[in-house]
Amino acid sequence: MTTNTKQQLLDNAERLFAERGFYGVSIAAIADAEGVTKQALLHHFGSKEKLYGEVLGRISDRFDALAHQSVSMDADPLDRLKHYLMNIQRSRTAQPNQTALLIRELLDNKQRIDSAGTWYLRPFLNGLTDMVMAVPGWENASREQALALVYQLLGAINYFSISGATLKAIVGAKAYAEMSKAFPAQLEQLITSGLASPPSKQRT
Amino acid sequence: MTTNTKQQLLDNAERLFAERGFYGVSIAAIADAEGVTKQALLHHFGSKEKLYGEVLGRISDRFDALAHQSVSMDADPLDRLKHYLMNIQRSRTAQPNQTALLIRELLDNKQRIDSAGTWYLRPFLNGLTDMVMAVPGWENASREQALALVYQLLGAINYFSISGATLKAIVGAKAYAEMSKAFPAQLEQLITSGLASPPSKQRT
DNA sequence: CACAATACTTACCACTTGGTAAGGTGTCAA
DNA sequence: TTGACACCTTACCAAGTGGTAAGTATTGTG
């Protein structure tokens, strides 16, 4: 396979960018991790920016695939949304680097995003919001309210992920393992709670 | 005031570190923002690492102050916890930089934290966990389960914060303003939902 | 075989990085 | 007046940064 090196460079870049951030990693370090020279990397990607872009593109594609996979699994809107969110949770567990990188992108893009106006996670968020608004009881909620719920749920998922190492250091490996094991069930409960109480036009 | 420059350097450092991360900011850039030379900054702090430490220390102190302030406000455990969490939410709104910096620290510390074993947010998390376990219905929950809930709630708060700029770009300024306005109420509902359903020994 | 594209290499460059060395200036106490 | 100290300055440095230029070895492909 000719493009083997390129893929492995992308793997290394994803890991290192996730661990240390865009500015914290030099292209030489990424190339070293693969055992090639810095210029071999530049040959494949042209520049550090473009390499970073390709890393983000791969992640975006993975999310898209996950979305398409989940969309035709359940007919019931509520079950479908739950299934999708739990899929995201599973993917997060399997690929912690990608979650960390997305959070970093959220943080770093604060200034750029205003001028860019577009972002690759937009379809992902739109899809999730649509699924929330398809749930019985949420038809009359505003789009903003649905999106707010989406953010709360994603926040719970992602925050647990990025805090993993810290959490483990604080509570100990054993307790952390227990938390990780219990997390999916708790998340499911959180999803159920959140969806069970649509905003406005309804009182607790 | 003699230490005026030092405090203003810390202010600039906090903002810049939050915006661009530790590696993304040079000490020269921080000094420039204040209008002094790079060596004036080094005179005050010795090294970039120590400056970063002082910035984190200031933030930690602010959290401590917030904790002490909230602890003796409400007698009822549930109200007290709600009050505290909503206080955190307000502080997050008032000081977005500090939230972003904490998230960055969570991400960056992944390797260091394992050897360090200690962290300045530990008392903060322990305090919150204690408050959760004081809520009626949670006395019999395990400490890990309570901490998991804490993380879910903090996740919802912080994720909304760091995603602010991106969210605004995606949904528009007007919709974002509406979401921001509605967020505290939704958060309160989330807290209520989370606390209303203790894990195990109880079924929905 | 010729030839072109791919996948690299070494050599080099201008610039930036965090940090040191040494000195200047003001204030204030002995 | 002297000296110590806080608070800065200019000058400098070795190491590292992203990126360019030019060449080489290998691999198809006509």
By C-alpha distance, which of B101, B97, B105, B73 is closest to B86? B73
- What's the full length of chain A, in residues? 204
Q: Is the CB of B104 under 7 A from strand D?
A: no
Chain B residue with minimal CA distance to A122? B170
* 3 state SS of A10: helix
Question: CA B106 → CA A55, A59, B22, distances in Å?
Answer: 22, 21, 12
Q: What is the tens place of the pLDDT at every residue in A156-177?
A: 888 888 887 777 877 788 888 9
Measured CA to CA, the distance from residue A196 to residue A198 in angstroms comes to 6
Backbone angles phi and psi of B101, in degrees to 5: -65, -40
User: Is A187–B152 a contact, with Cβ atoms under 8 angstroms apart?
Assistant: yes
From the list A118, A127, A53, A107, the residue with the least C-alpha distance to B165 is A107
Cβ(A19)–Cβ(A30) below 8 Å: no
Residue A169: list chain B partners with CB under 8 A.
113-114, 116-119
Q: pLDDT: is B46 or B172 the higher one?
A: B46
Query: CA A65, CA B25: separation in Å to the nearest integer?
Result: 36
Q: What is the pLDDT along chain A (204 residues), one digit of tens a residue?
A: 456 889 999 999 999 999 899 999 999 999 999 999 999 999 999 999 999 999 988 988 888 788 777 777 877 888 888 888 998 999 988 888 898 898 888 787 665 554 444 566 777 888 889 999 999 999 998 888 888 888 888 888 888 888 877 778 777 888 889 888 888 888 888 888 888 877 664 433
Q: What is the DSSP string of B10-60?
A: HHHHHHHHHHH-TTT--HHHHHHHHTS-HHHHHHHHSSHHHHHHHHHHHHH
- Cβ neighbours of A168 (radius 10 Å): 19
Rounded Cα distance, B199 and A109, in Å? 38
- pLDDT tens column, B27-85: 999 999 999 999 999 999 999 999 998 998 898 888 878 877 777 787 788 888 888 89
Kindly report the CA angle at A89 between B93 and A13, in degrees rounded to 5? 85
B23·A20 Cβ contact <8 A? yes
Q: Which residues contact A156 (CB under 8 A, 6 or more apart)?
A: A187, A190, B151, B152, B153, B155, B156, B159
* Bases along strand D below 7 A from a protein CB: 6-11, 16-22
Give pLDDT, residue B114.
46
For residue B54, give the nearest of B84, B24, B17, B86 by alpha carbon.
B17
A157: CB partners within 8 A, 6+ apart: A85, A88, A89, A92, A187, B155
Inter-CA distances, B27 with A24, A117, B47, Å: 15, 31, 9
pTM: 0.84
Cα–Cα distance for residue pair B122/B113, rounded to 1 Å: 12
Residue A52, H or E segment:
helix A48-71
In this predicted model, what pLDDT tens digit does every residue of B83-128 receive, in sequence order?
A: 889 988 998 888 888 888 988 887 876 655 544 444 666 777 888 8
Task: Look at A156 and B158 and tell me if their CB atoms are within 8 Å.
Answer: no
Q: Say yes or no for a CB contact (<8 Å) between A156 and B156.
A: yes
From B144, B5, B143, B122, select the one nearest B64 (Cα to Cα). B122
**For residue B113, what is the DSSP state?**
H
Select from B157, B165, B193 the Cβ nearest to the Cβ of A114: B165
Amino acid at A197: S
Q: How far, in Å, CA of A85 to CA of A125, rounded?
A: 12
**Residue B127: per-residue pLDDT:** 84
Percent of chain B with pLDDT over 70: 89
Residue position matching structure tokens 């953010």? A151
Q: B75, B85, B78: which is closest to B186 by C-alpha?
A: B85
**Shortest distance, CA A26 to any CA of chain B (angstroms):** 11
